[in-house]
Amino acid sequence: MRQDLFAQRVNPDVPSALSGLFSPDDDPRALSFAAGSPREDLFPVAAMQTAFHTAIAAGGAHLFQYQTAQGNPALRAKLAARIGKWGQVATTADNVVLTVGGQQAIELVAKALLNVGDEVAVEVPTYIGALAAFDLYQPTYHAVPLQADGLDLNRLEDTLKRHPKIKLLYTVPDYHNPTGITMSMAKRQQLVELANRYNFIILEDSPYRDLGYTHAPLPAIKHFDTEGRVVFVSSLSKILMPGLRTGWLVADDDLLTAILRGRMASDLEANNVVHAAINAYLEANDLDAHVAALRASYRGQCSALVQALTTYFPDEVAFTHPDGGFFDWVTLPQNVDAAALLTQAAIPQAHVSYVSSTNFYPARDVHNSLRLCFTGLTPAEIDAGMRRLGAVVKAAVREGRPVV
């Protein structure tokens, strides 16, 4: 109605990366592998209830007063120590900003860096929410493919040579969303060297780094940062609870200042009540033990998915074998459209939903893949869902033509 007055960034003719992503299915048999939701029955609800009580008792009225844009210093110190221990990032509370989930951290980095038309490199496929945040600033995208050991750095360097004005590279190096791939140690260091040489910022988004099923987390890309070029982003959504809406970033020098300035103008402050409660939770509980319990569960769910894909899917279909995180990436034959399969067969016949591949590409130009999230469902549900999805995938492959 008022569309003539809208900004270009919310042009309703442009598909939004995050809107309408999840198709409703009210059938009682419905199983969603779409949303990247953690397992609710592992949430430490009672401990967090106690933590809110403790934090409010300790903080009193002043806890509820205006505070700071950067957020609770004690929690920042704990997160700095945590990424020091598990990611070998030498930093302190002074360089940590508490954000509204990892999503706000990504948006704030985009806000600090991107003018309309600025050039951004992203690995593809990539996190949908990052594309949505970048889209707000109307960049020009350069897509760089992933390999089994992470971003293809040769392709990245080719791109940088052709487009030397690229100012930001976005990557999810650990148990990548949507593929589950982890970037090798060697590539982490080489990526920082490229950033130094070609003068760009690396946005390292690592919400899944603690959820490796076979080995401890690798050093962060930011561990190799020599010029304050890496902004490290993580979140408590996947290792604690997403409803806390708490992410965080580590940045240096003027870039930290610019990010904080954008934060104040965007929503003034971090949520000090929630962050004091999280701090109280961390003081009274062992987060590493909680994360170990998550890993044990998710490892089993991941195995169930890989087993089910092996059993029920035809040989023409490829899929990743994640060793951490939330997701598996399934590649159908070139001529099968995953989005059409979703709405025409997967949901109505199999009552299974997933996210189809176009959403993970800035150019929306890859149609035959899909993301499965295995963390929200039991092994039995995973088996049942993949059995049903496998049947419709087999039919689509057999038909040898797009399901349109």
For a copy of itself, the binding residues in 230-259 under the rule CB under 8 A are 237, 241-245, 252-255, 257-258
Give, for 98, the enclosing helix (H) or strand (E). Answer: strand 96-99
Residue length of the chain: 404
Letters for 193-212 (x = contact with a copy of itself by CB under 8 A, - = none) are ------xxx-----------
Q: Are 181 and 146 in contact (CB under 8 A)?
A: yes
First-to-last alpha carbon distance for the chain, in angstroms, is: 33
Rounded distance between C-alpha atoms, residue 145 and residue 42, angstroms: 35
Rounded distance between C-alpha atoms, residue 150 and residue 172, angstroms: 9
Q: Where are the alpha helices (DSSP H) in 285-378?
A: 287-312, 338-341
Rounded distance between C-alpha atoms, residue 270 and residue 275, angstroms: 8
For a copy of itself, the binding residues in 258-287 under the rule CB under 8 A are 258, 261-262, 264-274
In this chain, which stretch among 34-42, 184-192, 217-225, 316-324 interacts with a copy of itself, using CB under 8 A? 34-42
Q: How far is the CB of 143 from a copy of itself (least distance, A)?
A: 19
Instruction: Choose between 118 and 323: whose C-beta lies nearer to a copy of itself.
Output: 118
For a copy of itself, the binding residues in 116-145 under the rule CB under 8 A are 116, 118, 129, 132-133, 135-137
Q: How far is the CB of 14 from a copy of itself (least distance, A)?
A: 10
Q: What is the DSSP letter of 29?
A: T
Rounded distance between C-alpha atoms, residue 397 and residue 210, angstroms: 37
For a copy of itself, the binding residues in 35-64 under the rule CB under 8 A are 35, 37-38, 40-41, 43, 45, 48-49, 52-53, 56-57, 60-64
Q: Which of 33, 224, 247, 5 is nearest to 130 (CA)?
A: 247
Q: How far is the CB of 149 from a copy of itself (least distance, A)?
A: 28
Token output for 374: 């295995």
Q: Which of 243, 7, 204 is nearest to 88 (CA)?
A: 204
Q: Which of 108, 172, 169, 107 is nearest to 142 (CA)?
A: 169
Letters for 308-347 (x = contact with a copy of itself by CB under 8 A, - = none) are ----------------------------------------
For a copy of itself, the binding residues in 79-118 under the rule CB under 8 A are 99-101, 103-104, 107, 111-116, 118
Q: How far is the CB of 30 from a copy of itself (least distance, A)?
A: 17
For a copy of itself, the binding residues in 152-171 under the rule CB under 8 A are 167-168
Instruction: Choose between 246 and 368: whose C-beta lies nearer to a copy of itself.
Output: 246
